[in-house]
Amino acid sequence: MKIAVLGTGEVGRRLATKLASLGHEVTMGSRTADNAAAAAWAEENDAAHGTFADAAGVADLVVNATSGQVSLAALEAAGADNLSGKILVDVSNALDFSGGFPPKVGLPDGGSVAEQLQRAFPETRVVKTLNTMSNSVMVEPSRVPGHHTVFLSGDDERAKAEVSALLESFGWTPAQITDLGDLSSARATESFVELWLRLYGVLGPVDFNISVVTPAV
């Protein structure tokens, strides 16, 4: 599949590298065509890079790995026409590090970044996922032993099914993928990041995740 990964930070590079290793044609998008991190990543992975618009324009599916604080601006730069009809996998969180650690978690308009993007791009099918864990666990769930959980939120059932398949290609099992419902549930996973940050503060840089435990599991 032709996939755009928007964002050149650690999360974007990790996801882009995984997707490229799985055989997808990945283009890394950034604000400017000459972004050094994107160019270095593309060189190393024999892949492409370009502006947000370049990347989204050629893609069948778009991953938003920009900071949630600037995601709306990044997607506006990508352009509604380049996003129309496509799945947007939103893995972002709006973290404000200006006051130190832990950062403040922003929830735009009392909702979520995901809903903000969906409202701005109604022809795009936004699916929120993977934003509740470190990027190392996102693409290699076996780093955390046993049962643990990845969440999905979105208004389009077929889009969620396609994103589930993508997650399975990363190593997630269907039992680990928990569909929380429509996109308003993204505010729950974006709020959860508060707890993730505190756990990170306690546990340190180890691979961890949460598991939803029920009597049936």
Site for its own copies, rule CB under 8 A: 105, 143-148, 151, 178-181, 185, 187-189, 191-192, 194-195, 197-199, 201-203, 206-217
Q: At what angle do helices 186-203 and 113-120 cross, to 10 degrees?
A: 140
Cβ distance to its own copies smaller for residue 27 or 153: 153
- Residue 197 Cβ vs its own copies, minimum distance, rounded to whole Å: 7
- Residue 151 Cβ vs its own copies, minimum distance, rounded to whole Å: 8
Write the DSSP symbol of residue 110: G
Is residue 72 a contact partner of residue 4, using CB atoms and an 8 Å limit? Answer: no
- Residue 213 Cβ vs its own copies, minimum distance, rounded to whole Å: 5
Report which secondary-structure segment, H or E, holds 217. Answer: none
Cβ distance to its own copies smaller for residue 73 or 206: 206
Cβ distance to its own copies smaller for residue 95 or 180: 180
Cβ distance to its own copies smaller for residue 121 or 196: 196
Quote the longest CA-to-CA distance of the chain: 52
Compute CA 92 distance to the chain's CA centroid, rounded to the nearest angstrom: 5
What tokens does 86 get? 């496509």
Report which secondary-structure segment, H or E, holds 55. Answer: helix 52-58
Cβ distance to its own copies smaller for residue 123 or 194: 194
- Residue 211 Cβ vs its own copies, minimum distance, rounded to whole Å: 4
User: What phi and psi, each to the nearest 5 degrees, are found at residue 86?
Assistant: -90, 155
- Residue 176 Cβ vs its own copies, minimum distance, rounded to whole Å: 11
Could you write out the DSSP letters of every residue in 15-50?
HHHHHHHTT-EEEEEESSTT-HHHHHHHHHHT-EEE
- Residue 82 Cβ vs its own copies, minimum distance, rounded to whole Å: 31
Cβ distance to its own copies smaller for residue 41 or 196: 196
Q: How far apart are CA 121 and CA 114, in angstroms?
A: 11
